[in-house]
Structures are given as C-alpha cells and as structure tokens.
Amino acid sequence: MKHLRYRVAVTALLYALLITAANIAKSAIQGVIVPPDNGKLRIICFGAHPDDCELQVGGTAALWAAAGHHVLLVSLTNGDIGHWREAGGPLAVRRRNEVRQAHQILGVQGVILDIHDGELLPTVENRREVTRLIREWKADLVLGHRPNDYHPDHRYTGVLVQDAAYMVTVPFFCPDVPFLKKNPVFLYYPDRFQKPNPFAPDVIVSIDSVIDKKLDALGVMESQFYEGGANGSTELVPSDLEKQKQRHQQVRQSFARRNQSLADRFRAKLADWYPAAEADQVKHAEAFEICEYGAQPNKDELKRLFPFFAK
C-alpha cells in the first residue's frame, strides 16, 4: 500500500513536471525572465531585425533600464540574409551573439524570433505571437516601426504591432495567455518617409547621458555596421589595423550624427519636455509618435511612462 502511494505520488509529480514543461515550451518568450510586478514600467520594443530596436530606442531603453524599469527588445526575424558575404544559420547565430552583447551593454533583455529575414508576413500566426509577447511581458508601453517604413519586414512589423494594439485586450483571442485589462500605449519609431504621412513626434528624449552606451552597443554589431550588412562590401573591411580603427570611428560618428539630427530636426518640440535652456543644449535625441490604436496618454501619463523629463 505504501509502495502504491509512493508510485502515485511520483506519477503525479512527473505529470506536473510535464505540464509545466509544455507550458514553458508554449511561452513566446523562452529564455527571458519575465520580471515580477514591482511597480516598475514594463516596456516591449519590436523591430524587424536584430539591430532595429537598438538603433531606434537603444538610448531610451538604457535610460529606462538604469532606473530599474523592465525593457524587452524583440526582433521578429532572425536576420539571416543581412550581410553581403554570409547568410543562413551561421549569420543568424552571429547576429544573435552580437545583439546579446548589445543588450548587456544597454542593460535590457532580448528575444529573436526564428523567422527568415526578408520573409516576415502579417499572418494570423504572427499576430498571435506578437499578442502573446505583449501580454506575457504585461507591457505598459509597446514600440514598433511605422507601417510605411522602407523595408517589407519593417512595414509588416508595424502592421503586426498595430494589429495587436486592440487584440491584446480581447479575452478569447489567444486564450492561452491572459489578456491585458489595460491597453498599453503604442508608439512608433521615426523614419523619413512622407507618404501617406510623415512621422510626427509626440515624445522626444535626450539621450546625451547614455549616448556612449548606445554607440558602444551599436559598435558590437559588427556584421551590420562595421561590415555594412546586406549592402556592405570588402572595401569596408580593411586589413590594416589603423584603417580598422578609423572604420570603427567612422561608424560611431555616423550613429552619433543620426541622433544629433533627430535632436535638431525636432528641436522646437524638445522645449515641450525640457526647460528652454536645457532643450537648446540637447545634442542627441530619440523621438516617438503615439499610435492611435492603443491607450491615448495625456502629458502627465507620458511623463510617467518617460520619467526623464525635468519640466
């Protein structure tokens, strides 16, 4: 009898372990520690490729992370055609390792979905995946590309994030993951495309205090920037040590300029968030536009979500 009870207990334990394993396997965010509810902000950023989130929101992500907020950067594709010399599995692994290093520098977590680069589509399956990720992260803020960005993967990332902007609150869509009772705020990254409408920023963040961290993080993604990614060539990769140093410096400066040009382009808007004298001094910025489909924050709510502003 005692023996039978023991066997029942062991069987029950094995079943419990199997069920737990099945649930973990179902989780869209394998390998990520979903943070506890501790009153800190929960931010999830989507990019098409393993470098997009880091480029678009790396500085603000570092600011949030330094203040103890929880940031997850998601790449919807594995980046496996993003190089002029190499492709496939080895490139996907290389990019995963690069972006992991970048996340360590920024102090954030990351996920890369195993979808081929250049082949992302706004399918129902991918809509479920994006919805699950936002729900599992219990996001307050969701960021993504605008759906009129230049690259098809960027556009469809934009569409997928928009498509999730209401569905995350619908109980019987993906009922395997608890729905969100409060719709998050959804935001777009900037781009330069004018049709059908240009990017119009609602929030501008000075990233001067973390610009070196951001440039360091971008610098470790050598396949994409130092070597030039899909449109690079052998000429970008000198064998001479001194020229290699120069090339690294050139990449760093081009990204610094990119964030400087955002600060200059939206300088007038910076004064909405920083005292005038400070706004004039901001050198590097990141900018975001509110998507109409999620929660619509007022200025106080935006200040709560971006707790960096002195004004």
Residue 49 beta carbon to Zn ion: minimum distance, rounded to whole angstroms: 4
The residue (of 217 and 282) whose beta carbon lies closer to Zn ion is: 217
Q: How far is the CB of 29 from Zn ion (least distance, A)?
A: 21
Q: Which of 49, 83, 145, 247 binds Zn ion (CB under 5 A)?
A: 49
Residue nearest to Zn ion (CB): 49
Task: Please give the C-alpha separations between residue 205 and each of 35, 45, 64, 163, 310, in angstroms, as whole numbers.
Answer: 25, 16, 11, 26, 11
For residue 164, the one-letter residue type is: A
Which residues touch 74 (CB under 8 Å, ≥6 apart)?
A: 44, 45, 46, 47, 53, 110, 111, 112, 113, 133
Of 42 and 103, which CB lies nearer to Zn ion in the complex structure?
103
By the rule CB under 5 A, 52 interacts with Zn ion: yes
83 scored as a contact of Zn ion (CB under 5 A): no
- Options 51-59, 175-183, 188-196, 264-272: segment touching Zn ion (CB under 5 A): 51-59
To Zn ion, the closest distance from the beta carbon of 143 in angstroms equals: 14
How are the residues of the chain apportioned to helix, strand and coil, as percentages rounded to the nearest 5?
A: 50, 10, 40
Of 14, 134, 13, nearest to 72 by C-alpha is 134
Q: Name the residue nearer to Zn ion (CB basis): 99 or 174.
A: 99
Q: Which is nearer to Zn ion, 52 or 129 (CB)?
A: 52
Helical H segments across 138-266, by residue range: 152-167, 211-219, 241-265
Q: Which of 45, 48, 73, 133 binds Zn ion (CB under 5 A)?
A: 48
Q: Which is nearer to Zn ion, 117 or 140 (CB)?
A: 117
Q: Which residues of 200-224 are buried (b: 16+ CB within 10 A; e: fewer)?
A: ebbbbbbbeebbebbbbbbbbbbbb
Applying CB under 5 A, the residues found at the interface with Zn ion are 48-49, 52
